[in-house]
Amino acid sequence: MATAAEHHNQTALVGTWTSIPDAPLVQKPGHPSEGLYRLKVNSDGTLTPLDFIKMKSPSWIVKSHDGRFAYTTNEENAGAVTALAIDHSGKVRVINAVDSHGQQPTHATISPDGKFLFVANYSVAKGGASVAVFPIHHDGSLGEQAQNFPFASGSGAVKDRQDSGHAHSTTFTHDGKYLYAADLGGDKLHAYAYHAGKTQPLAADTSRDVSFPAGSGPRHMVFSPDGKHAYVITEMAGEVVVFAVKDNRLEQQAKVKLNTENSSAEYRSGGGIILSPNGKFVIAANRGSDNSLVVFKIEQDGSLGTPVRYRADGIEPRAFAFDASGKYLYVANVFTNNITMFHFDAESGVLKAAGEVAKIATPTDIKFFN
């Protein structure tokens, strides 16, 4: 748990899309986003704008394990990844940027040893989807691409969404020996063995790949704190799929719907998925016409308890995160151009809405730094 001093010194970085989406539910902001926004976290959890770094569509933010650096995926047709340095006062400067070697990079993760960054190039068009691997230097800068694994084939089940592969996220197993990449277009998790000592650290292991029913659209995943279970959110099916982990192989155990009251397609749009800081709860988002946060208690056997649903207080809750205190959950609602906050009870998992705490054009992610 963070100390009071740590909590008061927190800053938040908010990633955005710098062009306004052409979607029916979009509420157009006064002007498009300028890039990456920095905000102060006040003692009551509210946010005060500080400044921004001008860049194109820094849609996802991942911070280094020591919090000294951060990396953003610049989700454009000409995809890029930007390395940032975070000083003790929370100020941010750009170190360097590299070509993501794909289109619309939408997610990234850092290896447990901090040596490599793994980038998911989503790519709306055919031919630009892949997982790209970049070495991280001691000064936090990114080196030239070390590997690239194209995601060419889609399942074709959902027209215009699965005509080709779409890499949506990369996630390490609890022991750091394997990386799983979610392919929304191909209805698959691709497995890679990780070898930290090699300049090309990933080796595909198709024996551990996981296939989903056609049209599911696996998007993001998390592992339980003990590493014995994995939870995958599917975008088009609108479910959380529960897996048991045995020898870093995933064995499906259950599926839980994000919306049990309305099964129509517009109410199935799985988004982000995270663990609560204490590891007792899974929190997922359902977007589309639903726009809810869904909280599941993790039971003793790794299964998920009865879902409890909360309004996100915005449209298109794309990403969400806890601050260092673990008391506040913040949600980036892309289409309503706002960040909303919830008080979180760590024992019961109950969320209490506290309303809008920041107005930022098309926010796509939020992360906290001490």
| Proportion of the chain in helix, strand, coil states, percent, rounded to 5 | 5, 50, 45
Record the tokens describing residue 8, joined without a space.
Answer: 């008061």
Bridge partners, 105 (sequence order): 121
- Amino acid present at 260: T
Q: Which two tokens stand for residue 159?
A: 């027209």
Q: Which residues pair with 239 in a beta bridge?
A: 234, 257
Cβ atoms of 103 and 125 closer than 8 Å: yes
**Cα dihedral 252, 253, 258, 259 sign:** positive
pLDDT at 1 over 60: no
d(CA 27, CA 39): 22
Mean pLDDT of the chain: 96
| Inter-residue contact 86 to 69 (CB < 8 Å) | yes
Percent of the chain predicted with pLDDT > 90: 96
- Residue 4, pLDDT > 60, answer no
Average pLDDT of the segment spanning 72-82: 98
Q: What pLDDT does 251 receive?
A: 98
pLDDT surpassing 80 at residue 332 = yes
Return the pLDDT at 9.
86
**Across residues 68-81, what is the average pLDDT?**
98
- Identify the pLDDT of residue 262: 94
User: For residue 214, is pLDDT > 80?
Assistant: yes
Is it the case that residue 22 has pLDDT exceeding 50?
Answer: yes
Checking if the pLDDT of 6 tops 50, the result is no
Of the candidates 369, 360, 370, the one whose C-alpha atom is nearest the C-alpha of residue 15 is 360
The pLDDT-based confidence of 40 (bands split at 50, 70, 90) is very high
Helix then strand count (H, E) for the chain reads 1, 29
Residue 5 has pLDDT above 70, yes or no: no
Count other C-beta atoms under 10 Å from residue 279's C-beta: 12
Segment 353-370, tens digit of pLDDT: 999 999 999 999 999 999
Position 8 pLDDT exceeds 80: no
pLDDT at 54 over 80: yes
H or E element, residue 7: helix 4-8
The residue to which tokens 């990780």 are assigned: 194
Residue 7, pLDDT above cutoff 60: no
| pLDDT, tens digit (0-9, with 9 covering 90-100), for 79-126 | 999 999 999 999 999 999 999 999 999 999 999 999 999 999 999 999
Task: Report which secondary-structure segment, H or E, holds 5.
Answer: helix 4-8
Give me the percent of the chain exceeding a pLDDT of 70. 98
Q: pLDDT confidence of 212, banded at 50, 70, 90? A: very high
CA distances from 138 to 64, 69, 70, 115, 183 (A): 11, 10, 13, 9, 31
Q: Are strands 69-74 and 80-86 parallel, antiparallel or unpaired?
A: antiparallel
Measure the CA dihedral 47/52/56/60, to 10°.
-40
Mean pLDDT for 288-311 is 97
- C-alpha–C-alpha distance, residues 61 and 310, integer Å: 25
Look at 7 and 108; give whichever has higher pLDDT.
108
Structure tokens at 148: 């690239």
pLDDT at 157 over 90: yes
C-beta of residue 295 within 8 angstroms of C-beta of residue 322:
no
- Which tokens belong to 126? 């055919």
Dist. CA 354–CA 254, nearest whole Å:
33
pTM above 0.95, yes or no: yes
Question: How much is the average pLDDT of 232-247?
Answer: 97
